[in-house]
Amino acid sequence: KSQLLKSLKGKENVTADGRKIDIFANIGNVSDVARVLENDAGGIGLFRSEFLYLERETIPSEAEQFHVYRQVLQLMAGKRVIIRTVDLGADKQASYLKLEAEANPALGCRGIRLCLKRPEIFKPQLRALLRAAVYGNLAILYPMITDRTEVEQVLELVQEAAKELEADGVPYRIPEQGIMIETPASAMISDELAELVDFFSIGTNDLAQYALAADRQNESIGELYDPRHRAVLAMIRMAAENAHRFGKRVGICGELASDTDLTEEFLRMGIDELSVAPGMVLKVRKRVREL
Protein backbone atom coordinates (compact mmCIF):
# COMPACT_ATOMS: atom_id res chain seq x y z
CA LYS A 1 0.00 0.00 0.00
CA SER A 2 2.73 2.49 0.89
CA GLN A 3 4.42 1.51 -2.39
CA LEU A 4 1.20 2.31 -4.23
CA LEU A 5 0.85 5.61 -2.39
CA LYS A 6 4.41 6.55 -3.30
CA SER A 7 3.86 5.82 -6.98
CA LEU A 8 0.60 7.78 -7.15
CA LYS A 9 1.09 10.68 -4.75
CA GLY A 10 0.26 14.01 -6.34
CA LYS A 11 -0.33 12.44 -9.77
CA GLU A 12 -3.41 13.06 -11.89
CA ASN A 13 -5.92 10.30 -12.51
CA VAL A 14 -5.61 10.11 -16.23
CA THR A 15 -6.00 7.23 -18.68
CA ALA A 16 -3.51 6.36 -21.41
CA ASP A 17 -5.68 8.26 -23.91
CA GLY A 18 -5.91 11.33 -21.73
CA ARG A 19 -9.29 11.03 -19.98
CA LYS A 20 -9.09 12.65 -16.56
CA ILE A 21 -11.28 11.85 -13.59
CA ASP A 22 -11.42 13.05 -9.99
CA ILE A 23 -11.14 10.39 -7.31
CA PHE A 24 -12.56 11.67 -4.05
CA ALA A 25 -13.37 10.07 -0.70
CA ASN A 26 -16.54 9.56 1.34
CA ILE A 27 -16.53 10.43 5.03
CA GLY A 28 -18.97 10.33 7.92
CA ASN A 29 -17.05 12.22 10.57
CA VAL A 30 -14.37 14.86 11.02
CA SER A 31 -11.91 12.24 12.25
CA ASP A 32 -12.14 10.52 8.83
CA VAL A 33 -10.40 13.49 7.18
CA ALA A 34 -7.02 12.10 8.28
CA ARG A 35 -7.61 8.98 6.18
CA VAL A 36 -8.69 11.11 3.20
CA LEU A 37 -5.37 12.97 3.30
CA GLU A 38 -3.33 9.81 4.01
CA ASN A 39 -4.75 8.22 0.87
CA ASP A 40 -4.11 11.33 -1.23
CA ALA A 41 -7.73 11.70 -2.36
CA GLY A 42 -8.44 14.73 -4.56
CA GLY A 43 -11.27 15.93 -2.33
CA ILE A 44 -14.28 14.80 -0.34
CA GLY A 45 -17.12 13.72 -2.62
CA LEU A 46 -19.59 12.89 0.12
CA PHE A 47 -19.57 14.06 3.72
CA ARG A 48 -22.62 12.45 5.33
CA SER A 49 -23.70 14.98 7.94
CA GLU A 50 -25.92 12.58 9.92
CA PHE A 51 -23.22 11.99 12.55
CA LEU A 52 -23.84 15.51 13.88
CA TYR A 53 -27.46 14.67 14.60
CA LEU A 54 -27.40 11.08 15.85
CA GLU A 55 -26.75 9.74 19.36
CA ARG A 56 -27.42 12.97 21.20
CA GLU A 57 -30.24 14.64 23.13
CA THR A 58 -30.58 17.97 21.34
CA ILE A 59 -30.38 19.26 17.81
CA PRO A 60 -26.90 20.52 16.85
CA SER A 61 -26.84 24.32 16.81
CA GLU A 62 -25.87 26.45 13.83
CA ALA A 63 -22.66 27.45 15.65
CA GLU A 64 -21.68 23.86 16.37
CA GLN A 65 -22.25 22.85 12.75
CA PHE A 66 -20.39 25.87 11.43
CA HIS A 67 -17.32 24.94 13.48
CA VAL A 68 -17.33 21.35 12.22
CA TYR A 69 -17.77 22.30 8.55
CA ARG A 70 -15.12 25.01 8.77
CA GLN A 71 -12.70 22.59 10.38
CA VAL A 72 -13.12 20.08 7.55
CA LEU A 73 -12.73 22.79 4.89
CA GLN A 74 -9.59 24.09 6.53
CA LEU A 75 -8.10 20.59 6.88
CA MET A 76 -8.77 20.01 3.18
CA ALA A 77 -6.96 23.26 2.34
CA GLY A 78 -8.76 24.33 -0.82
CA LYS A 79 -9.65 20.85 -2.10
CA ARG A 80 -13.30 20.33 -2.99
CA VAL A 81 -15.52 19.24 -0.08
CA ILE A 82 -19.09 18.15 -0.85
CA ILE A 83 -21.22 18.17 2.28
CA ARG A 84 -24.58 16.43 2.08
CA THR A 85 -27.41 17.93 4.07
CA VAL A 86 -28.84 15.68 6.70
CA ASP A 87 -30.50 12.46 5.51
CA LEU A 88 -32.56 11.42 8.52
CA GLY A 89 -35.80 9.45 8.59
CA ALA A 90 -37.65 6.85 10.58
CA ASP A 91 -34.70 4.48 10.04
CA LYS A 92 -32.12 7.00 11.30
CA GLN A 93 -33.88 8.32 14.37
CA ALA A 94 -32.91 11.14 16.66
CA SER A 95 -35.15 11.14 19.74
CA TYR A 96 -35.42 14.95 19.93
CA LEU A 97 -36.90 15.08 16.42
CA LYS A 98 -39.84 12.95 17.54
CA LEU A 99 -40.27 11.38 14.13
CA GLU A 100 -43.31 9.23 13.70
CA ALA A 101 -42.77 5.49 13.30
CA GLU A 102 -43.26 4.38 9.70
CA ALA A 103 -44.01 0.98 8.20
CA ASN A 104 -41.66 1.66 5.25
CA PRO A 105 -39.00 4.16 6.34
CA ALA A 106 -37.08 3.84 3.06
CA LEU A 107 -40.20 5.07 1.25
CA GLY A 108 -41.16 7.57 3.91
CA CYS A 109 -40.30 11.00 5.19
CA ARG A 110 -36.51 10.97 4.91
CA GLY A 111 -33.78 13.15 3.47
CA ILE A 112 -34.93 16.30 1.76
CA ARG A 113 -38.59 15.44 2.44
CA LEU A 114 -38.09 15.73 6.18
CA CYS A 115 -35.93 18.86 5.83
CA LEU A 116 -38.55 20.65 3.72
CA LYS A 117 -41.26 19.70 6.17
CA ARG A 118 -39.24 20.84 9.17
CA PRO A 119 -37.40 24.05 8.24
CA GLU A 120 -36.50 24.58 11.90
CA ILE A 121 -34.17 21.57 11.48
CA PHE A 122 -32.96 22.52 8.01
CA LYS A 123 -32.40 26.27 8.24
CA PRO A 124 -29.63 26.17 10.86
CA GLN A 125 -27.77 23.63 8.72
CA LEU A 126 -28.08 25.79 5.60
CA ARG A 127 -26.93 28.88 7.48
CA ALA A 128 -23.96 26.97 8.94
CA LEU A 129 -22.99 25.74 5.46
CA LEU A 130 -23.23 29.20 3.88
CA ARG A 131 -21.06 30.63 6.65
CA ALA A 132 -18.49 27.82 6.36
CA ALA A 133 -18.32 28.26 2.57
CA VAL A 134 -16.19 31.36 3.13
CA TYR A 135 -13.37 29.11 4.43
CA GLY A 136 -12.82 26.73 1.54
CA ASN A 137 -13.99 24.93 -1.57
CA LEU A 138 -17.41 23.81 -0.39
CA ALA A 139 -20.33 22.37 -2.34
CA ILE A 140 -23.70 21.43 -0.86
CA LEU A 141 -25.47 18.20 -1.83
CA TYR A 142 -29.17 17.44 -1.26
CA PRO A 143 -30.36 13.84 -0.72
CA MET A 144 -33.46 11.94 -1.85
CA ILE A 145 -34.67 14.29 -4.56
CA THR A 146 -37.57 13.01 -6.68
CA ASP A 147 -39.05 16.16 -8.19
CA ARG A 148 -38.12 19.64 -9.42
CA THR A 149 -40.41 21.29 -6.88
CA GLU A 150 -38.16 19.98 -4.10
CA VAL A 151 -35.12 21.51 -5.76
CA GLU A 152 -36.93 24.82 -6.24
CA GLN A 153 -37.95 24.88 -2.58
CA VAL A 154 -34.41 24.15 -1.41
CA LEU A 155 -32.91 26.86 -3.62
CA GLU A 156 -35.48 29.28 -2.24
CA LEU A 157 -34.60 28.35 1.36
CA VAL A 158 -30.92 28.94 0.61
CA GLN A 159 -31.76 32.40 -0.72
CA GLU A 160 -33.72 33.06 2.47
CA ALA A 161 -30.82 31.90 4.65
CA ALA A 162 -28.48 34.18 2.69
CA LYS A 163 -30.78 37.15 3.20
CA GLU A 164 -30.91 36.46 6.93
CA LEU A 165 -27.13 36.26 7.18
CA GLU A 166 -26.83 39.45 5.18
CA ALA A 167 -29.22 41.19 7.57
CA ASP A 168 -27.29 39.80 10.55
CA GLY A 169 -24.04 41.09 9.08
CA VAL A 170 -22.50 37.60 9.13
CA PRO A 171 -19.96 36.66 6.41
CA TYR A 172 -21.27 33.98 4.03
CA ARG A 173 -21.06 32.72 0.47
CA ILE A 174 -23.54 30.71 -1.58
CA PRO A 175 -21.49 27.73 -2.81
CA GLU A 176 -22.21 25.28 -5.63
CA GLN A 177 -25.33 23.22 -5.02
CA GLY A 178 -26.02 19.74 -6.34
CA ILE A 179 -28.41 16.87 -5.87
CA MET A 180 -28.15 13.17 -5.24
CA ILE A 181 -29.50 11.08 -8.08
CA GLU A 182 -30.58 8.16 -5.94
CA THR A 183 -34.22 7.64 -6.88
CA PRO A 184 -35.34 6.32 -10.28
CA ALA A 185 -37.59 9.39 -10.61
CA SER A 186 -34.65 11.76 -10.37
CA ALA A 187 -32.69 9.75 -12.93
CA MET A 188 -35.63 9.72 -15.36
CA ILE A 189 -36.15 13.50 -15.11
CA SER A 190 -32.46 14.31 -14.83
CA ASP A 191 -32.72 16.53 -17.95
CA GLU A 192 -35.13 18.81 -16.10
CA LEU A 193 -33.11 18.70 -12.86
CA ALA A 194 -29.75 19.35 -14.52
CA GLU A 195 -30.93 22.80 -15.50
CA LEU A 196 -31.58 23.74 -11.88
CA VAL A 197 -28.37 22.67 -10.13
CA ASP A 198 -24.59 22.81 -10.47
CA PHE A 199 -23.86 19.10 -10.29
CA PHE A 200 -25.19 15.57 -9.76
CA SER A 201 -23.87 12.92 -7.43
CA ILE A 202 -25.27 9.47 -8.13
CA GLY A 203 -26.09 7.43 -5.04
CA THR A 204 -26.02 3.88 -6.30
CA ASN A 205 -26.87 2.37 -2.91
CA ASP A 206 -30.35 3.82 -2.86
CA LEU A 207 -30.74 3.95 -6.64
CA ALA A 208 -30.33 0.16 -6.72
CA GLN A 209 -32.67 -0.33 -3.77
CA TYR A 210 -35.45 1.69 -5.39
CA ALA A 211 -34.90 0.55 -8.97
CA LEU A 212 -34.88 -3.13 -8.02
CA ALA A 213 -37.51 -2.88 -5.28
CA ALA A 214 -35.03 -4.61 -2.99
CA ASP A 215 -34.46 -3.31 0.55
CA ARG A 216 -30.71 -2.68 0.84
CA GLN A 217 -30.79 -3.85 4.47
CA ASN A 218 -32.73 -7.07 3.92
CA GLU A 219 -30.17 -9.87 3.67
CA SER A 220 -32.77 -12.47 2.73
CA ILE A 221 -33.06 -10.85 -0.70
CA GLY A 222 -29.39 -9.92 -0.90
CA GLU A 223 -29.02 -11.63 -4.27
CA LEU A 224 -31.71 -9.34 -5.74
CA TYR A 225 -29.97 -6.22 -4.50
CA ASP A 226 -27.47 -5.85 -7.31
CA PRO A 227 -26.19 -2.31 -8.00
CA ARG A 228 -24.55 -3.68 -11.18
CA HIS A 229 -27.96 -4.53 -12.65
CA ARG A 230 -28.42 -3.17 -16.18
CA ALA A 231 -31.37 -1.08 -15.02
CA VAL A 232 -29.13 0.76 -12.56
CA LEU A 233 -26.32 1.23 -15.08
CA ALA A 234 -28.84 2.58 -17.62
CA MET A 235 -30.01 5.19 -15.14
CA ILE A 236 -26.43 6.18 -14.32
CA ARG A 237 -25.74 6.63 -18.03
CA MET A 238 -28.91 8.66 -18.48
CA ALA A 239 -28.10 10.98 -15.58
CA ALA A 240 -24.53 11.44 -16.86
CA GLU A 241 -25.72 12.32 -20.37
CA ASN A 242 -28.29 14.78 -19.09
CA ALA A 243 -25.82 16.45 -16.74
CA HIS A 244 -23.40 16.99 -19.61
CA ARG A 245 -26.08 18.26 -21.97
CA PHE A 246 -26.38 21.17 -19.57
CA GLY A 247 -22.66 21.44 -18.89
CA LYS A 248 -22.92 20.14 -15.33
CA ARG A 249 -20.55 17.83 -13.44
CA VAL A 250 -21.60 14.32 -12.53
CA GLY A 251 -20.07 12.00 -9.97
CA ILE A 252 -20.88 8.68 -8.37
CA CYS A 253 -20.69 8.42 -4.58
CA GLY A 254 -22.46 5.11 -3.89
CA GLU A 255 -20.51 1.91 -3.18
CA LEU A 256 -20.52 1.01 -6.86
CA ALA A 257 -18.01 3.81 -7.50
CA SER A 258 -15.22 1.61 -6.10
CA ASP A 259 -16.04 -1.42 -8.28
CA THR A 260 -12.95 -1.43 -10.49
CA ASP A 261 -14.60 -3.83 -12.95
CA LEU A 262 -16.82 -0.86 -13.87
CA THR A 263 -14.25 1.95 -13.88
CA GLU A 264 -13.79 1.70 -17.64
CA GLU A 265 -17.54 1.83 -18.25
CA PHE A 266 -17.89 4.86 -15.97
CA LEU A 267 -15.15 6.64 -17.91
CA ARG A 268 -16.92 5.84 -21.17
CA MET A 269 -20.10 7.34 -19.73
CA GLY A 270 -18.14 10.50 -19.05
CA ILE A 271 -18.39 10.38 -15.26
CA ASP A 272 -16.31 13.29 -13.90
CA GLU A 273 -15.76 12.06 -10.37
CA LEU A 274 -15.82 8.83 -8.36
CA SER A 275 -16.09 9.16 -4.59
CA VAL A 276 -15.16 6.06 -2.62
CA ALA A 277 -14.23 4.92 0.89
CA PRO A 278 -10.81 6.38 1.85
CA GLY A 279 -9.28 2.88 1.82
CA MET A 280 -10.34 2.35 -1.81
CA VAL A 281 -8.97 5.61 -3.24
CA LEU A 282 -5.56 4.29 -4.28
CA LYS A 283 -6.99 1.12 -5.82
CA VAL A 284 -9.36 3.13 -8.03
CA ARG A 285 -6.67 5.65 -8.95
CA LYS A 286 -4.37 2.82 -10.00
CA ARG A 287 -7.15 1.33 -12.14
CA VAL A 288 -7.78 4.61 -13.98
CA ARG A 289 -4.13 4.95 -14.88
CA GLU A 290 -4.09 1.40 -16.30
CA LEU A 291 -6.93 2.08 -18.75
Positions at the binding site = 48, 84, 182, 205-206, 216
CA distance 20 to 16: 10
Q: Is 181 helix (H, G, I), strand (E, B) or coil?
A: strand
CA distance 150 to 94: 23
Is residue 182 involved in binding ligand PEP (CB under 6 A)?
yes
Nearest CA-CA partner of 252 in 15, 24, 18, 12: 24
* 60, interface contact from ligand PEP, Mg ion, none, CB < 5-8 Å by kind: none
The yes-or-no answer on residue 253 being catalytic is: yes
Contact 50, 26 (CB under 8 A): no
Contact 102, 108 (CB under 8 A): yes
Query: Least Å distance between CB 257 and ligand PEP?
Result: 9
> In this chain, which stretch among 57-65, 120-128, 202-210, 278-286 interacts with ligand PEP, using CB under 6 A?
202-210
Q: Is 174 helix (H, G, I), strand (E, B) or coil?
A: coil
With CB under 5 A as the contact rule, the residue among 124, 136, 175, 203 that binds Mg ion is 203
Q: Is 14 helix (H, G, I), strand (E, B) or coil?
A: strand
Return binding residues for Mg(2+): 182, 206
Residue 215 neighbours by CB under 8 Å, 6+ apart: 106, 209, 221, 225
**Buried/exposed code over 99-133 (b: 16+ C-beta within 10 A; e: otherwise):** beeeeebbebbbbbbbbbeeeebbbbbbbbbbbbb
* 150, interface contact from ligand PEP, Mg ion, none, CB < 5-8 Å by kind: none
The residue among 44 and 133 lying less far from Mg ion, judged by its C-beta, is: 44
> In this chain, which stretch among 101-109, 154-162, 201-209, 217-225 interacts with Mg ion, using CB under 5 A?
201-209
The H or E element spanning position 24 is: strand 22-27
Is residue 40 involved in binding Mg ion (CB under 5 A)?
no
Is residue 273 involved in binding ligand PEP (CB under 6 A)?
no
Backbone φ and ψ of 47, nearest 5°: -110, 105
161, 253, 274, 284: which one is catalytic? 253
Return binding residues for phosphoenolpyruvate: 48, 84, 205-206, 216
Contact 41, 277 (CB under 8 A): no
With CB under 6 A as the contact rule, the residue among 32, 62, 206, 272 that binds ligand PEP is 206
With CB under 6 A as the contact rule, the residue among 183, 186, 204, 242 that binds ligand PEP is 204
Nearest CA-CA partner of 120 in 103, 91, 98: 98
Is residue 13 involved in binding ligand PEP (CB under 6 A)?
no
Site for Mg ion in 167-186 (CB under 5 A): 182
Is residue 110 involved in binding ligand PEP (CB under 6 A)?
no
Query: Least Å distance between CB 74 and ligand PEP?
Result: 24
> In this chain, which stretch among 8-16, 68-76, 199-207, 238-246 interacts with ligand PEP, using CB under 6 A?
199-207
With CB under 6 A as the contact rule, the residue among 254, 258, 276, 285 that binds ligand PEP is 254
Residues belonging to the active site: 253
Binding interface with ligand PEP (CB under 6 A): 46, 48, 87, 182, 203-206, 253-254
